[in-house]
Amino acid sequence: MISQETVNKIFDTVDIVEVISDYVTLKKSGTNYKGLSPFTNEKTPSFMVSPSKGIFKDFSSGKGGNAVGFLMEHEKLSYPEALQYLARKYNIPIEETELTPEDIQQRNERESMLAVTQYAQKYFTEQLHSAEGKAVGLSYLRQRGFRDDIIEKFFLGYSPEDRKALTNQALKAGYKQEFLVKTGLTIEKEDYVFDRFAGRIIFPIHGISGNVIGFGGRTLHSDKNIAKYLNSPESDIYHKSRVLYGLYQAKKSIVNSNRCFLVEGYTDVIALHQAGIENVVSSSGTALTPEQIRLIKRFTENVTILYDGDEAGLKASFRGIDMILEEGLNVKVLLFPEGEDPDSFSQGRSSSEFIEFINENEQDFITFKTQVLITDTKNDPIRRANMITDIVRSVAVIPDGIKRSVYLKECSLMLSTEEAVLYNEVNKIRQRRREQDWRKERSSPDQLVVPVQPTVPSFVQNIFSEIEEREIIYFLLKFGNRLLKLSGAERSDITVAQYIIREIQNDELQFTNLVYELVFEDVKAITEAGKPISEKVFTFHDNKEIQDLAVDIVTSKYELSKVWKRKESYIEMPGENLGVEVPKALLLYKLKVVNMALDELRKEVEEVEKSGDGERVMQLMARLRDLEGVKNELSHVIGERIILR
C-alpha cells in the first residue's frame, strides 16, 4: 500500500498543466488554461485547467477534479495506478506502508504467478512459429482468415502435443512447479504432471493493465470427448467472473467511441479487430457477471450485444441483459442474419459497412424484448399478462427514473396498456426488492433493522427544498460516522452516512442546491471507500462554497428546525437520538418533495383539462392518486409530534 507520505509528495510535485498537456492541447487564458474537452466532441473550448488550484473542469461533460482524477477518468486507471503513473513521471520513489509477513508472501506469490504466465505466453507464441506450430496452429489461424498482424496483436500461440513440453521447459528455465500448478498451466496428479493446454491454439487473457493472467485453449481435434475450449482455472491472479477478453486491447477505442460491442467468443473479438472495429469484448462464452458489467461501465454506459441468428439463445440471455440494465447501462441488441455470427459476417466487409449494418439494425433492448414476446403471446390473454409482467420487471431494474419513465411510455403504446398501470407495477416491484434487501439485513442477529420508508414514485422530479436539504447535509457532516441507535436494539452496523446515502439513492433524489449535492457526492465516495468522514476534508476543501458550508456546520453548537420541536416546553438537541432524528429528517425531506410535486401535478391537471385531452387527464389523475397515497404513508410514519409546515 502506497504510504501517505508518498501520496503527499506526489500531490505536492505534480504540475496539473503538464500532466493534462500530454492528452489535451492547452492554451493560456488569463491565469488559467483552456482546451477542447477530451471527453466530448466539442468544437468550442470549454475545458479549463487551474494551475493555482491544481484542478480541471470540463464544462461540456461536467467532469472535474485534480491530476489523479483526470488520469482515472481519461485513462480509466484505478487510484493506486494513477498515483504510480505520476510517481514514475516525476521520478518519485514509491514508499509503501509496512506489510505483514502474510502480505509480503501473498504479493510475492502473485508476482511469481504473473512471471510464470508471462513466460508461458512467450513460449506459446514462439511455438506457433515452430515446425509443429506452423503446420497445425498457424495454418488453422490463417485458414480462419486471420492476418499476421492480428495474430501478433493478440499474442496468439500454440501448445505442442507433447503433454509435458511447457512444464519441462519452464522448470528448466528456473520456474517453480508450485506456480505452474497454481496458475493452472500444469496439472499435478500424484507424482505425474502434464500440460493443461497440450495440442491447442492458445488465446492469452490479459488483465486490464496488460498482464497475462490466464489462457484459453482451442483443440483442433474432432474427438467429441475432448472439450472444444478450455480455460485456465480460478487462481489468485485469474477470476473469470471479473475478466473480459479483449478489454485490454479495446479500452481506448471504447472510451473514444463511447460504445462497447459485446460478443460471445475469442474469435469474434479477433475477427472484429481485423475488420477495423476495436471497441469489442467477450465474456468468453460464459454468462455475464455483475463484475464484468461494472468493468464495461468504467469505460462507457453504452453496450450493443451482438448475437448470431439464434433467437432462442437470445431469449435465454434476457436475464443477463436485465443485469446490465440494473447497472445503469444503455443496452441495444443486434441479431445477425440466420447462420451468421460476428466472425463470419465481418469477413469480406469493411469496418464502415459493418458499423453501418449495426447502426441500421440494432434495437433498444426493451423495445426488442417487447416485440419478441408480443409475437409469442398471440391471442392468449394469460400469456400476454405474463409477458407484460416480464417486460415490467426489466424496466423496474433500471436505476434511472427518467429512463424508466420513457420506457414505460413506449411500452404502454406497444402493449396497449395504460401507462399508470405499468407505473404502479414498477413501483410495486421496486418496493418489494427493497423490502427483500432489508429482510436480508434483518436475518443477521448482529445487525439492526433500519425502518422501511415509503417510496417516492420515480416520476417525481427534484424540487427545491433548502431547509430540508441543509438539515440532511448537517447530519452527514456532523454525525456521519456515528452508529444509529434504533428502537429495539442497542447498536447498529449502519452509520448515519450509510443510511442517508441509501435512502437518497433508493428514491433517486438529488439535492437542488449544487453545493449540497457536491458535499453528498464527496461523502458518498468517502463512505464507499470504507473511510471515516473527516471534517477537515470539507473545512479545507478546494471549493470555497463547500469550505464555508462545512465551517458553518461543524462550528455551530446546535440548529433549531422542525425536527427538534417536540413540545413548546422542550427542545431536543441534535444528536441526542439519531435513530429517530435521521430517519425523520429524511421523511420530512421526502414529504416536502411530494407535497410540492402534488401542487405542480394539480396545476398540470387543470391545464390539461382545458385542452380536452381526456386520456392524458386520466394518466395524471392516476399519478395524483399514487402521490396522495405516498403522502399519507409519509405523514403517518412521521406522526403528529412533528410540525410539518
Edge to edge, the sheet with strand 157-159 lists 157-159, 200-206, 212-219, 229-231
The pLDDT of 586-607, averaged and rounded, is 83
Phi/psi region, residue 364 (left: phi>0; alpha: psi -120 to 50; beta: rest), is beta
How is the chain split into domains, by residue range? 4-89, 101-238, 247-361, 372-435, 466-638
The pLDDT of 29-52, averaged and rounded, is 83
* Range among 130-144, 217-231, 250-264, 425-439 with highest mean pLDDT value: 130-144
Cα–Cα distance between 642 and 584 in angstroms, integer?
Answer: 9
The greatest distance separating any two alpha carbons of the chain, rounded to the nearest whole angstrom, comes to 95
Look at residue 485 in the predicted model and tell me its pLDDT. Answer: 58
Q: Is the pLDDT of residue 567 over 50?
A: no
Q: Is the pLDDT of residue 575 over 70?
A: no
Of 114-128, 248-262, 271-285, 589-603, the least confident: 589-603
Confidence bin at 555 (pLDDT 50/70/90): low
Q: Is the pLDDT of residue 271 over 50?
A: yes
Look at residue 105 in the predicted model and tell me its pLDDT. Answer: 67
H or E, element range at 241: none
Q: Is the pLDDT of residue 557 over 70?
A: no
DSSP 572: P
Whether 247-361 and 101-238 are alike in CATH topology: the answer is: no
Q: Is the pLDDT of residue 460 over 60?
A: no
Cα–Cα distance between 316 and 234 in angstroms, integer?
Answer: 26
* C-beta of residue 282 within 8 angstroms of C-beta of residue 263: yes
Of 60-74, 175-189, 231-245, the least confident: 60-74
380-391 per-position pLDDT tens digit: 888 888 888 888
What superfamily does domain 101-238 belong to in CATH?
Answer: DNA primase, catalytic core, N-terminal domain (3.90.980.10)
H or E, element range at 98: none
Q: Is the pLDDT of residue 302 over 90?
A: yes
Count Cβ atoms below 10 Å from residue 336 Cβ, excluding itself: 19
What superfamily does domain 4-89 belong to in CATH?
Answer: Zinc finger, CHC2-typedomain (3.90.580.10)
Is pLDDT larger for residue 428 or for residue 182?
182
Q: pTM for the complete prediction?
A: 0.61
SS3 state at 100 = coil
* C-beta of residue 441 within 8 angstroms of C-beta of residue 492: no
Cα–Cα distance between 6 and 550 in angstroms, integer?
Answer: 28
> What is the per-residue burial (b if ≥16 Cβ within 10 Å, else e) of 590-604?
bbbbbbebbeebeee
Phi/psi region, residue 348 (left: phi>0; alpha: psi -120 to 50; beta: rest), is left
* DSSP-derived secondary structure for 524-535: HHHHHTT-PPPH
Amino acid type, 310: D
DSSP 534: P
Is pLDDT larger for residue 74 or for residue 497?
497
Q: Please give the angle made by the CA atoms of 476, 477 and 480, to the nearest 5 degrees.
A: 50
Q: Is the pLDDT of residue 157 over 60?
A: yes
Q: What residues pair up with 216 in beta bridges, in sequence order?
A: 203, 231
Q: Is the pLDDT of residue 98 over 80?
A: no
Confidence bin at 146 (pLDDT 50/70/90): very high
Q: What percent of the chain is predicted at pLDDT more than 90?
A: 21
* Range among 300-314, 417-431, 543-557, 617-631 with highest mean pLDDT value: 417-431
CATH code assigned to 247-361: 3.40.1360.10
* C-beta of residue 471 within 8 angstroms of C-beta of residue 587: no
Per the prediction, the chain carries an average pLDDT of: 81
Look at residue 180 in the predicted model and tell me its pLDDT. Answer: 95
Closest C-alpha to 471, from 608, 377, 583, 623: 583
